[in-house]
Amino acid sequence: MTASSEIQITDIEGELAHLGNLQKEKKQVKAALFNLIVYAQDKPHAERLNKLVLNVIEKFPCRIIFILKNDIRPDYLHVVVSHQIAEAGEQTIVCDRIFIEASAQNLVRIPFIILPHILPDLPVNLLWGKDPSQEKEILPHLKPLATKIIFASEYLDGFRHFSRNILSFMKDSSVDFMDINWALLSSWRDVLSKIFDTPTAIERLQSCNNLNIRYSVNKNSTQREEVHAVYLFCWLVGQLNWKFQSYEKRDKSHFLTYKSFSNQIAVTLTPQANDELPQGSILGVEIACKNHCLYSIACVPDATKVVIHTSSADTCELPITLPLPCLRKGFTFMKELFYFRTTEHYRHMLEALGQVNW
């Protein structure tokens, strides 16, 4: 990032122009595929979102408008304009970055501050560090302009509550949504759809009687480390039409029972200590089906691949390996976030999520 200093709101455009001249002198390339408006409700969230933004601009340069809620003083409002530099392939690309810190009292002014600085004719993507159904000061003004709202469901307030709010929010909105945790799960969803890719395999999955999903927890675990495991499981429920029967939480594991067409399914979501991977990463899925058929899908230690063992009463197949694209920063993840539409699978998953009193 280039050096930056606080400026007045009225000087934003002037400062962007000044930086533009400096960039031309250095023969750097400025590019923007879309506007990215980011909202963080506190500094730890801002750091996490900023890391994501840096990954975004490496793949898709954009104009960044970063809003941080900061109650340092009741009337606090602080604006900084800079260039964010991305090393993309052999080129150095610069992206405009407008950073606004505002107290809760001043959040209502934010939409009016940023509206003139949205690049016309380009998509407007909102990256929201708060449950978008609950944010009332800024988002309602920006939603009519938005192409997509991307949010991190780790900030949500209870699965059931979240599911209902988001389903209702999506119903009333023509904007596309992307839940970051849902995007991060795309590689696991791909893996499962590739493993169970024939009518026979799906029938076997429907006949499963035991399903265990293991996920990582580490020493400094905060809440919601089970998000991915819960999402993955609820996706299966939604797509396979399993009926909820019971739920219990014991010793940090989650125990559920569901019913498929013909049998009862016992589901366990099991935390497992692991300090190597980001918390909540799925470590493995074990599925026991009728006729002693077993699927064991396990992540390798660096989570770049899964190894799949399949066996039945008569055969034991050689293990196969499928890649898990590095989804925290790779091109695949960025495409998921910005270019793929959320499908009915997400809605079905949310509906399944809302059925359980977690």
Q: Kindly list the residues in this chain that would bind another protein in the complex (CB under 8 A).
A: 29, 31, 33, 58-61, 86, 88-91, 93, 186-187, 189-190, 192-200, 202-203, 236, 239-240, 300, 304-305, 317-318, 320-323, 325, 331, 336, 340-341, 343, 345
Cβ proximity to another protein: between 112 and 331 the closer is: 331
Shortest separation between residue 241's beta carbon and another protein, angstroms: 8
Q: Containing H/E element for 234?
A: helix 227-240
Looking at the chain, the number of H-run helices and the number of E-run strands are 11, 17
Q: For the chain, what is the largest distance between any 2 Cα atoms, rounded to a whole number of angstroms?
A: 75
Residues 224, 102: Cα–Cα separation, whole Å? 28
Residue 49 beta carbon to another protein: minimum distance, rounded to whole angstroms? 20
- Name the nearest CA neighbour of 65 among 114, 16, 9, 135: 114
Q: Which is nearer to another protein, 79 or 124 (CB)?
A: 124
Indicate the residue among 42 and 276 with the shorter CB distance to another protein. Answer: 276
Q: What minimum distance in Å lies between the beta carbon of 320 and another protein? A: 6
**Which of residues 43 and 194 has its CB atom nearest to another protein in the complex?**
194
Closest distance of CB 156 from another protein, Å? 22
Quickly count: other Cβ atoms within 10 Å of residue 293's Cβ.
19
Whole-number minimum distance, CB 90 to another protein, in Å?
Answer: 7
Nearer to another protein, 13 or 197 (CB): 197
Shortest distance (Å) from residue 179 CB to another protein: 14
Measured CA angle at 22 (ends 17, 24), to 5 deg: 95
Nearer to another protein, 12 or 185 (CB): 185
Contact (Cβ atoms closer than 8 angstroms) between residue 214 and residue 282:
yes
* Least separation in angstroms between CB 294 and another protein: 17
| Residue 46 one-letter amino acid | A
> In this complex, which beta carbon is closest to another protein, that of residue 39 or of residue 177?
177
Cβ pair 354, 163 in contact under 8 A: yes
**Residue 317: CB atoms within 10 Å:** 10
Report the alpha-carbon distance of residue 123 to residue 118 in Å, rounded. Answer: 10
Cα 333 from chain centroid?
Answer: 9
